[in-house]
Every structure is written in structure tokens, then in C-alpha cells.
Amino acid sequence: MKPKTTLIITALIGLVFSSVMYIAPEFVTREQFPNAEGQGFADLVTVRYGIASLILALVIITYHVRNIEGQAFQAHVMRGYTLAFSVVCITTLVLQILGKISAVPPIVGTGIVAILSFVSWRNIARESGQK
């Protein structure tokens, strides 16, 4: 898969997550923390807005990075995306397994991005090795 395609898919997935957190922060909070009540629930909803803005920032950066040229730059970007999204996916998966949060959509989303980034990174490495 080409890095540009991977970055466009990554931006779209991030845009969906960010939009849902902006539009329905109470729903997202209730899904992840079903036992939260009162001020704790209100605080978690507020945190959702902060997380949504961070995801949107990453979406904007990702969208603008998609046009990078040169295999060396593309390889660095794809390696960074692979590592970053793998960390988020693994952390969320561990929290899910421990019962701290309910987070299947974020696990799936970050996992897809990590895998696509890894595939793109490996393709660049193979192309570089063939030349």
C-alpha cells in the first residue's frame, strides 16, 4: 500500500473518532465508563473534548503529511505511525482486558492504522532494497 493511501485512510479514521467525540461526548464516555456518575462523569465528558481536539490535530497533520516525497522521508513517517499507533492500540487493549475501560472501536481503529502503516513501511523498505 502506498504511504499516501495509508495516510488518507488514517486521517479518515481519526476524523470519524474525533467527530463522534465532539458530537456525542456523553455517549462515548458512557460506552467506555458505564459506571461513572455525577461529577466524575461530567469530568470524563470534558476530557473527551480534549481527546477529540488532540485526535483532530493528528488528523490535520496526517492529512498534510500525505504528500511527502522521497522514500527515506516516507519510511520515517510510516515507521513513526506504526510505532505510535501500536502503542495506543496495545495500551487500549490492555485497559480493555483489565476491565478499566470498554474500548473496542478504538482498539480496532488504532490496530487498523498500525497494520496499514506497517505494511506501507515494509513496502517502502522492499522497494528501497530492490533498487
Kindly give the parts of the chain with pLDDT less than 70: 130-131
Q: Which cell goes with 55?
A: 485526535
Q: How many CB atoms lie within 10 A of CB 28?
A: 22
For residue 4, give Cα distances in angstroms to 13, 91, 92, 110.
Answer: 14, 26, 26, 17
Taking the alpha carbons of 46, 88, 93, 115 in that order, is the dihedral positive or negative?
positive
Position 130 scores a pLDDT of 65
Report pLDDT for 72. 87
CA distance 65 to 58: 10
What sign has the CA pseudo-torsion 25, 41, 30, 59?
A: positive
pLDDT of residue 131: 56
- What is the number of structural domains in the chain? 1
Residue whose grid cell is 466524575: 40
> What does the pLDDT read at residue 101?
86
Cα 71 versus chain centre, distance = 23
Distance of alpha carbon 28 from alpha carbon 45, whole angstroms: 8
Q: Is the pTM of this model over 0.75?
A: yes
Range of the structural domain that residue 71 is part of? 3-130
pLDDT for res 129:
74
